[in-house]
């Protein structure tokens, strides 16, 4: 009986332990910074079939935001600044067709930069559709 219970409960224990968080390098690079709140959303659902990873950097104060702006070469001071960033060096701008890449969006009012990972054309289209659908819904 004990053996039966063991066999039944072992996969369950494995499932509960297997949810180990796999951190992307961009998250790891900024997670240690004291002046930033850094989050990584793994498998963010863009539509029924397409997911992507998102890394979010939030500056805790204006000094941290100024530092982030400098690091990512953000020259505007209001609204939203967006660019396609190199996958290893997100501050470096790349062509829209480059894969993989980060779709970066910096929101000045929120002192936040969100990086959406784009590996495939489906992800790029799903990201655009997500934006367009939400914009239409908000109107």
Partner 1 sequence: MEHKMTFDSIWEQEERQSLQQRLRQDYPTWLRRRRQRRTALASIAVLAVAGLSIFNFQSSTSKDYDYVACNRSGIAEGHWAKVASNILTIETL
User: Residue 92 interacts with partner 1 (CB under 8 A)?
Assistant: no
Measured from the CB of residue 88, what is the shortest distance to partner 1 in angstroms?
Answer: 19
Calculate ∠ Cα 88-118-129, nearest 5°. 150
Judge residue 113's burial from the number of C-beta atoms within 10 Å of its C-beta, 0-12 exposed, 13-18 middle, 19 or more buried. buried
8-state DSSP, 61: S
- Cβ atoms of residues 50 and 126 within 8 Å: yes
Choose which of 86, 107, 122, 125 interacts with partner 1 (CB under 8 A).
107
Region of 18-26, 62-70, 85-93, 94-102 interacting with partner 1 (CB under 8 A): 18-26
φ and ψ at residue 66, rounded to 5 degrees: -60, -40
User: Residue 50 interacts with partner 1 (CB under 8 A)?
Assistant: no
- Residues whose CB falls within 8 Å of the CB of residue 77, separated by 6 or more in sequence, listed in order: 108
User: Residue 29 interacts with partner 1 (CB under 8 A)?
Assistant: no
Measured from the CB of residue 108, what is the shortest distance to partner 1 in angstroms?
Answer: 11
Contacts to partner 1 by CB under 8 A: 1, 4-5, 8-9, 11-12, 15, 19, 21, 23, 27, 30-33, 36-45, 51, 54, 56, 79-80, 82, 105, 107, 110, 112, 114, 116, 127, 130-132, 134-135, 138
């Amino acid at each position: 009986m004990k053996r039966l219970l063991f066999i039944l409960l072992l996969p369950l224990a494995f499932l509960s332990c297997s949810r180990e968080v796999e951190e992307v390098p961009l998250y790891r690079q900024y997670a240690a910074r004291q002046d930033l709140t850094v989050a990584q959303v793994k498998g963010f659902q863009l539509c029924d079939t397409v997911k992507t990873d998102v890394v979010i950097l939030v500056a805790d104060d204006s000094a941290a935001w100024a530092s982030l702006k400098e690091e990512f070469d953000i020259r505007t001071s209001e609204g939203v600044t967006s660019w396609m960033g190199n996958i290893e060096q997100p501050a470096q701008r790349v062509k829209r067709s480059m894969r993989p890449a980060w779709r970066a969006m910096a929101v000045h009012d929120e002192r936040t930069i969100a990086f959406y990972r784009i590996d495939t054309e489906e992800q790029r289209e799903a990201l655009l559709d997500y934006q367009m659908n939400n914009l239409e819904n908000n109107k």
